[in-house]
Amino acid sequence: MAHEVACVLVREAASRRAAHAFSQSRPWPLAQVQAAERAGHGGGASTARVVAEICRRHHERSPRLAAARAEQLGMCMRVALAELRAAAEEDGRGRDFPS
């Protein structure tokens, strides 16, 4: 098994400040992916499709993992936006910061 991690970077245009957040990791079947690559599934886009299908099937077998990707990104976005909001409030711009 291997693990993937999501990272979200948000930049506020007005202040040019940036904030980022990383998600918890999610396992994916490294051995199966490597076996597919060794089997020579065409390389390039073809291999990417095979790998995506292997990972999709892996995550579908565990309902907790199937929905986790969207949840990972949503949580990262909320954390990064909260960091930008806190910085705006420190600068006295909190009321102007979008909700």
Q: What residue numbers bound the domain in which 26 lies?
A: 2-96
Query: Which has the higher per-residue pLDDT, 77 or 67?
Result: 77
Domain count, the chain: 1
Encode pLDDT of 6-58 as tens digits. Answer: 899 999 888 889 999 998 887 878 888 888 878 775 566 677 788 888 888 88
pTM of the shown model: 0.64
DSSP-derived letter for residue 63 is: H
What is the structure's pLDDT at 2?
Answer: 81
pLDDT at residue 66 above 80?
no
How high is the pLDDT of residue 79?
A: 93
pLDDT of 87 strictly over 80: yes
Q: Is 76 exposed, middle or buried (0-12, 13-18, 19+ CB in 10 A)?
A: buried
